[in-house]
Amino acid sequence: MKSLELENVCKKFGEAVAVTDMSMHILTGELVSLLGPSGCGKTTTLRMVAGFVEPSSGSIRINGRDVTKLAPYERNTALVFQSYALFPHMTVAQNVGFGLEMRKVGKAEREEKSIEALKRVRLDHLSDRYPRQLSGGQQQRAALARGLVLNPDIFLLDEPLSNLDAKLRGEVRSEIRGLQQSLELTTLMVTHDQEEALTMSDKLVLMEAGSVRQSGTAQDLYEQPADAFVADFVGRSNVIKGRIEDGKFRTTDGTFMPTLPGAVADAQYYTLRPEKISLSREGDGVEGTLLERLYLGAQTEYTVRVGETSISVVTATPGPDDMRAGLRVGDAVRLAWDVASVRLLNN
Partner 1 sequence: MRLTRLTYRGVIFLAYLVMLLPVLLLVVTSFFKDTIITFPPSGLSLEWYANAIDREEFLSGFIVSFKVAALATLIGVPLGMAAALALTRSAIRGKQAITTFLLGPIIVPGIVAGTALYLTFLVAQNQLDMDIVGTLPGLVAAHILLTIPWTVRVATAGLQGLDKSVEEAAANLGARPWTVFMRVTLPMMRPAIVAASMFSFIQSFENLELTLLLVGPGMSTLPIAMLNYLEFQIDPTLAAVATIQVVVIAAMMLITDRYVKLSRIV
Binding site for partner 1 (CB under 8 A): 50-52, 71-73, 77-79, 81-83, 85-89, 98-99, 102-103, 146, 150
From residue 304, give the alpha-carbon distance in Å to each of 38, 183, 208, 333.
30, 48, 29, 8
- Where helices occur in the chain by DSSP H, the ranges are 42-50, 92-102, 107-120, 136-148, 166-182, 194-200, 218-223, 228-233
Please report how close the Cβ of residue 344 comes to partner 1 at its closest, in angstroms.
44
List residues bridging with 155 in a β-sheet.
Answer: 78, 187
Please report how close the Cβ of residue 73 comes to partner 1 at its closest, in angstroms.
5
Which is nearer to partner 1, 76 or 303 (by Cβ)? 76
Please report how close the Cβ of residue 52 comes to partner 1 at its closest, in angstroms.
6
* Distance, CA of 236 to CA of 6 (rounded, Å): 30
Which is nearer to partner 1, 88 or 330 (by Cβ)? 88
Burial 83-118, CB ≥16 within 10 A → b, else e = ebebeeeebbbbbbbbbbeeeebeeeebbebbbebb
Please report how close the Cβ of residue 60 comes to partner 1 at its closest, in angstroms.
15
Please report how close the Cβ of residue 98 comes to partner 1 at its closest, in angstroms.
5
Number of continuous H segments (helices) and E segments (strands) in the chain: 8, 20
Residue 141 contacts residue 123 (beta carbons within 8 Å):
yes
Nearest Cα neighbor of 151 from 200, 113, 121, 181 is: 113
Nearest-Å Rg of the Cα atoms of the chain is 25
Which is nearer to partner 1, 11 or 146 (by Cβ)? 146
**Is the sign of the CA dihedral 319, 323, 328, 329 positive or negative?**
negative
Please report how close the Cβ of residue 74 comes to partner 1 at its closest, in angstroms.
8
Which is nearer to partner 1, 52 or 195 (by Cβ)? 52
Which is nearer to partner 1, 148 or 267 (by Cβ)? 148
Which is nearer to partner 1, 73 or 295 (by Cβ)? 73
